[in-house]
Each structure stands twice: as structure tokens, then as C-alpha cells.
Structure 1
Amino acid sequence: MSTTKRKKLKVKAVAPKLKLFRANEPLLSVFMWGINHTINELDHVNQKVMLMPDDFKSYSKIRVDNHMFNKDSMPSHFKVKEYCPLVFKNLRERFGIDDMEYMNSLTKQPADVDSPGRSGARMLLSTDKSYFIKTLVSEEVEQMHHILKQYHQYVVENNANTLLPQYLGMYRLTVNDVETYMVVMRNVFSPRLAIHKKYDLKGSTVDRQANDKEKLKELPTFKDNDFVNDGFKIHVGPEAKEKIMSILQKDSEFLSNLHLMDYSLIVGIHDADIAEQEQQEKQIQQQEEFAGSVDQDEIEEEEEDVDDLNDGYGLAITPPDSPQPTTPLPFNGELDAKLEKYAYKSSGSCPRREVYFMAMIDILTKYGMKKRTAQAAKTVKHGAGAEISTVKPEQYAKRFLDFLSKYME
């Protein structure tokens, strides 16, 4: 009886390539995973022509247990909740932000940014400097839900022509049974042009100066009294001033009608002359480092071949594979198209060549019982005529606009 030998096939299982979200802390790994998951999920959802009231109450939620059994890259257990996904997707579209671009920016580890605010909120900046991620307290989350419908309507009616924060997504992350609320906003400062000075302006003069700790930072956030004492003016010219003040007037009225106050105008100043000087210094430093890295013996051996490398203009061509000094380009007079509504070049009356980046921030404070009590306490302390920051929304808006109009020309 003949026997046949069966040849056994050895099959090796190949694990699918998965996108890893490694960060220096579990919360950020989960945030990146959550952004990737929620944007991909939205790809499978039919977009509506018109948002419905229920869209402003909706959310998507996912719970993950024993994720890949690998705690090195992600926590074993976590939850991700995205609030009003279709609303924020619509807002991103209206602000001209592509979802894939949004996802790619936020699935790389963001970096912490010093925040001068008293709220203790944590601020992070995406790797490409396009987006800020800010932690929220539960009161702010509640306020966001409360104003979201009106905020969306306002953005639509004004064709996104506003200096209000661009809210692009809101999430709740649960890691190790701790809940963290986060909101993503567009960064209104240019990733290309350095900011050399920064002011946070409310139009108030009581306790509105940077403290000693703030001044020690590489880029301190100065306040109203610092702004006035520096003798600073925002030189944009009459046409640009009229345009900016018109937008701020509308935005302030919108916030006032929602009983919101305590917001600021953040002003970032790029000084083109300082930037050119910094560029020249960096170029010299890089050239020196480059020169120092070349071995002297190699130079002597290759001296006889210099003529062969001459490009006809008396300059030696750098071999393609050699390290070359690279420096960022100085300001060439052109502003980033995506930030055109926030960026203004200085007018001819300005003694310096500057670019101003301006936007409203911290708009989620309601004039409720807590603020009324604070107003009463500060009025007793500083007197009825003092320019305290805690006042009624209508009064706050007027003072805010008057201050900016006075120091903008």
C-alpha cells in the first residue's frame, strides 16, 4: 500500500501595520488616537445640507479596553467622546480647514505652551503650529454647549469674517478614570513669522500688568498697563482700523447679548527688522558651525580640485550630499493667506516695520452670580470709578472697544 506524504505549509501571520500614537504621557496618546478615530468615522457619515437642532446635542463615544495589550504605546483602558461632531465639522469647513489636514496636524505629539491665565488651563500647540489645544473646566464645557448654536449661526451669517476664536472640535478624554475636556482652536499667529512681543488687552487698568514671573519667560504676555507704559500703538492705517473695529464691534455685541465678558484681544507683533537681524546672526552661526565641521585635512587635499568645482562666477559649488546651512526666509511683504483676517502690516506712520496678529480669546466667561460678587468686592476695594475688569457685559464691551480704538491708528 502506497502512502503519500503531505507537505505541510507553514503560514506565518503578519500583523497589520497600525498607526501608533506614542506620546510622553497617556493623555496625549489618547488625544491623538481620538482625533484619528473621530475624523475617520466622519468619513462614513453622509453630510447634511442643513444642521438640525439635534446635531447640537449629539456626540460620538467609544470605549476601548485592552487596547493592543500594549501599555507602551497606549493605556489599556480609555474613553473618547466627541461633542457635536457634525457641527464642528461644518465649522471647520466654514473656516477653510480640511479634515485630513486637521487630522495630520493633531496626530503628532503637541507641545505644552506657557499660559499666563489664572484659570490654570493647560495649553498645547500642534507640531506644525496650526492649532492650539486647551483644557476646559466643566463650567466652560457647559457654556460652550449653551452658546454653540448661536456661535455657529453667527459664523454662518458673517461668512466666518470674525475675530472670535475658531472652535474646531471639543472632546472628553477619560484615562485612568480621570476626565479631561479639551477644545481645539486655530492658532492665529503665523507658523512662519516669529512673534517678538505679545499683549493681552481687556481695556482695564486694575491689576493689568505682567508679573515678575511672567516677565522672565522667553515670550512674556504683557497686559494693558504694560501696553500703555510702553507707549505702544497699533499702526495699521485708517482703512484697516475701520475694518478691524467694525468686526470687533459686531463680535463684542454678539458676546454681550450672550452675557459673556472678561474676554481679551491677543496682539502678537512681528518686528521685520529684528527678524532680519536674527536671520543674519543665525546664518553666520550656521556658517561657522558648517565650516568647523569640515576637516582641515580634507580641505587641503581638495584644494587642487577647486577649479573643477567652480561654477563660472567665482563660487565653489557645494556637493549635493554635503550639509548646507539653512535659515528661514525673512518677511517678504506677503502674509499667510489662511491668516489674512488676523494679520495686518504696519502703516507708513509706524516707526518700525511690523506685522500685527490680532484675535479675541477667552470668551466663555458668563456674567453670572460669581462675576457679580467679584465685581462688588473689587468695587469696594478699588472704588466705584476704578477700571476693574469685572463689569457688566455691555459696559465691558464698550470699554474694550474704546480702549482699542484709542490705541489703534
Structure 2
Amino acid sequence: MREKKRRLKALEEDERVLVGNKVSEGHVNYAAAYYMLTGIRVSVSRCNAKVDHELTDEDFSARHKLAFDISGNELIPSSKYDFKFKDYSPWVFRHLRELFKLDPADYLMSLTSKYIVSELSSPGKSGSFFYFSRDYRFIIKTIHHSEHKMLRKILKDYYYHVKNNPDTLISQFYGLHRVKLPFGKKIHFIVMNNLFPPHHDLHRTYDLKGSSLGREFVPKHSSSSSHVLKDINWLKNNESLKLGPVKAKKFIDQLEKDVALLKRLNIMDYSLLIGIHDKKVGDSKRQSLYMFEPDTSGMNASALRKAVNSTSPTEVNTVDLLADTFGQRDLYFYNDDGGFQATDANNEPLTEIYYLGVIDCLTPYTFYKRVETFWKGLSHTRSTISAIPAVEYGDRFFHFMKRVIKKESGQDNDHNNHNTAGDASREPLMSNIE
């Protein structure tokens, strides 16, 4: 009876997901998830099985095609569905994953050992769907063709920026791919880092752009901890990033470099995503992510790592391994329990941990954005709208983000400093709020 109860409990746990909806047989997006993960598993394994080389110009424009079917061959394993997969610039993304300190075997185990389990219940504002890896470390995001083209266009600049700035706050891109369904539909998608942790509750979450038009979230219920708040909410709540001298300087210096790149690439409409965990409040009981499992045999981590680097890179089967830790300990802004911990005037840790990064960095300032600038400018002050030229957007964004920091200068003056930081951060937008 005890064994039966244990198995029933394990089965119940396996049916739970941490966020969103479970993707399993019968789900409308089950096949799409299968296409994506199978393509990633084979393409990344094949690339990592080869001897590394210095990147060339051809690597940035490379496109590798794979055709999957039920029979398979000596290079491509059989698949339960027929589909085509395209891998863009695989060598560049292999080098990027190395720069971001990702072990190739861990990357594949996280994404494909038991395949994806969950997706958001509805697409984002852009119409993109988000899928989460088994340990919540990675996001697979479907993107528009225009975003796909933009990433390929800026890939070389992005790569060298990451190489010269390993602690960049800009989203970490790990792969760019495309699947083509049997009836002709194409799905472009990227693999990127998930800023938010699986092991901590986020007590407040903000998406900041430095503009005010449409930048307030009004919750229908009294509790808004599960919602993403915006710029006006940040100001009204008198929020701030509490950083001592060392961390404040590091944050501002890196953000300035990142914004300079985005301005040069004519990119706008990005935002700073901030998730705040307060150790004083603590955590509720968290459940691990569970995946639907393909019908394959088991393999331990050592065997998987061998397969990834062997001459038979398609031998990547199911493993049962969850990540022991979250975050990238060698990267500055992800070093404190996966995030960036608040500090006081003496650079000693405070109770809050910030999980933050610059997201949505694939929107150029095009003709359509110029039309939007003109149209919205007819009825609103230019400083309040998001759609403005890239240089102007970057300057406003950076100016506002500098003011969200509360530079700790001592416990005795904490209250006064808080009010000062709050008043300072209000300057660009407060008149519009009122």
C-alpha cells in the first residue's frame, strides 16, 4: 500500500507544472514542441561533435537544413512526425553559449531530456508563444519573421558585444531556428535565458521603458504580485533598486554600454525587466517542472556528455536530471542566488534579490514606427510615448534607469535617501502622471 501511494503521489507530481499549461499528447501545440526540441537536440549535438574553429564571416550567415521523417538515416534519427528544421549560424551560437558559460550537455539535458512541459496560457502582446525548459532555465520564444531577420542582421555586432562585455544585461540568445510543418507553415523561434528563478517567489515584477503613455497596470484584484507592473506603478509605489557604490557603478556602466549598442543598431522599444524577491517575506512551496517524455531509453549525464562530443551526436536520449543550481555564477548580474542582490552603503548584502535584464531587443525604428511616432505625437507629448527614434529612446531609457537606483549612503539617512531617490526618478514622468 505504501508503494502504491508513493507511485500515485509521483504520478500526481508528474502532472503538475510550475507555470502555464502542460504540453502533452492531445495538446494543440504538442507537435510544434516536438518539432522544436527534436531539431534542437540533433542540430546542437552535431555542431558540438565537431572540432571547434575560429569564427568566419560565413559562420554568421550559415544556414543548415535537416529533414526529419519516420524512417531516419545514418545522420538524422527517425522522428514520429515528418518536418523540416533549419539551424541558423550554429557555430556562432555555439560560441555564444560558451561565452555565457553554458555546458553543452547541460543545455541539451535541460531542453530535451524529457522535452518541454509548459507554455503560457496565452501569447504575449507581440503574439509570440513562450515555452519553458524542464528546469525553468531556458525559454523558447516564437518570433515574427521580421524579428528573425533583425537578429541575423545584428548577430555579428551582438556576438562581439557579448565577447567584450561578458556581463551584458541584454537578453542572452542561445540559438535561432526554424521549423517547417508538412502543410507549409513556418515557425521561427529563439532559445534564450529565463531571468526569473524556479526556486524563489517574485514578490514584485516590473517592466520599465522610461515612458508613461499606456505604462500603468491596474490590477482587477487587490493583490498584484503575480502581475507585471510598469513605469507609472514603479513611481507610484516609490520603488528603487537599492545598490551600494560598487554595484551601482557596475550596473550603470554596463547598462550604458548596452544602450550604446542598441542605439547604434537602431533598436528601440526594449525594456528593463525586474523581478524582486525579498528574503524577509520568504517563499511559498514551489513545485518542480515536469515534462512529457518521449519513448526512448535512459542515459546518465556522463553518457549524454559523451554523446554530445562523440562522432555519433544523434545519440541523445532521455535522462532524468534536474539542474542542481540556478543562475550563472561566473556572470556578475546572475551571481547572487541566480540574481543581483541589493547592498547597503558598505556594499553589504540586503534582503532583496533582483532578477533583471534588458529584453525585447529586436525592434528596429522603421518607417512604420515613424508613422506611429507622428500619429501618437499629435495627441500626446513626445516624451511620453514609446515609439521614438532609437537614439532618443536610448537616451531617455538610460536617463530613467539611472534614477531608479537608490544609492545607499547609510542607515541613519535611509528614509531621506528613499524619498530623494523617489523624487528624482519621478522627474521625467511625474507631470504626465499627474
Label 1:116 to 1:37 Cα distance change in 2 as closer, same or farther (>3 A): closer
1:266 and 2:273 matched: yes
Equivalent runs, 1:9-408 vs 2, <5 Å: 24=27, 25-48=30-53, 50-67=54-71, 75-107=80-112, 108-113=115-120, 117-158=124-165, 160-176=166-182, 177-212=184-219, 219-275=226-282, 278=284, 337=329, 340-342=332-334, 343-348=339-344, 353-384=351-382, 386-408=383-405
Higher relative contact order (CA 8 A, sep 6+): 2
Deviation at residue 75 of structure 1 after TM alignment:
4.8
Q: What letter corresponds to residue 337 of structure 1 in structure 2?
A: R
User: Does the 8 A contact of 1:236 with 1:344 survive in 2?
Assistant: no
User: Does the 8 A contact of 1:344 with 1:355 survive in 2?
Assistant: yes
Range 237-246 or range 217-226, more displaced: 217-226
Deviation at residue 45 of structure 1 after TM alignment:
2.1
Aligned length: 329
Partner of 2:119: helix, strand, or coil? strand
Deviation at residue 193 of structure 1 after TM alignment:
2.2
Partner of 2:106: helix, strand, or coil? helix
User: Does the 8 A contact of 1:198 with 1:267 survive in 2?
Assistant: yes
Whole-angstrom CA distance in 2 between matches of 1:27 and 1:367: 31
Range 187-196 or range 161-170, more displaced: 187-196
| Aligned-residue RMSD, C-alpha | 2.8
User: Does the 8 A contact of 1:67 with 1:76 survive in 2?
Assistant: no
User: Does the 8 A contact of 2:83 with 2:181 survive in 1?
Assistant: yes
Label 1:180 to 1:116 Cα distance change in 2 as closer, same or farther (>3 A): closer
Label 1:116 to 1:382 Cα distance change in 2 as closer, same or farther (>3 A): farther
Label 1:245 to 1:215 Cα distance change in 2 as closer, same or farther (>3 A): farther
Q: What letter corresponds to residue 375 of structure 1 in structure 2?
A: T
Deviation at residue 407 of structure 1 after TM alignment:
1.6
User: Does the 8 A contact of 1:194 with 1:275 survive in 2?
Assistant: yes
Deviation at residue 250 of structure 1 after TM alignment:
0.4
Deviation at residue 338 of structure 1 after TM alignment:
5.3
Number of the residue aligned with 1:323: none
Label 1:335 to 1:136 Cα distance change in 2 as closer, same or farther (>3 A): closer
User: Does the 8 A contact of 1:190 with 1:339 survive in 2?
Assistant: no
Whole-angstrom CA distance in 2 between matches of 1:218 and 1:175: 39
Whole-angstrom CA distance in 1 between matches of 2:225 and 2:241: 22
Label 1:22 to 1:61 Cα distance change in 2 as closer, same or farther (>3 A): farther
Q: What letter corresponds to residue 271 of structure 1 in structure 2?
A: D
Deviation at residue 74 of structure 1 after TM alignment:
5.6
Deviation at residue 115 of structure 1 after TM alignment:
7.0
Q: TM-score, normalised by structure 1?
A: 0.74
Label 1:178 to 1:54 Cα distance change in 2 as closer, same or farther (>3 A): same
Label 1:224 to 1:114 Cα distance change in 2 as closer, same or farther (>3 A): farther
Whole-angstrom CA distance in 2 between matches of 1:139 and 1:31: 19
Whole-angstrom CA distance in 2 between matches of 1:86 and 1:269: 35
Whole-angstrom CA distance in 1 between matches of 2:220 and 2:50: 48
Q: Which runs of 5+ in 1 are unaligned?
A: 1-20, 283-333
**CA offsets 1:198-241 (integer angstroms, 9 cap, x no match):** 10000001110125579988721111011111111111223211
User: Does the 8 A contact of 1:91 with 1:152 survive in 2?
Assistant: yes
User: Does the 8 A contact of 2:216 with 2:230 survive in 1?
Assistant: yes
Deviation at residue 143 of structure 1 after TM alignment:
0.2
User: Does the 8 A contact of 1:188 with 1:339 survive in 2?
Assistant: no
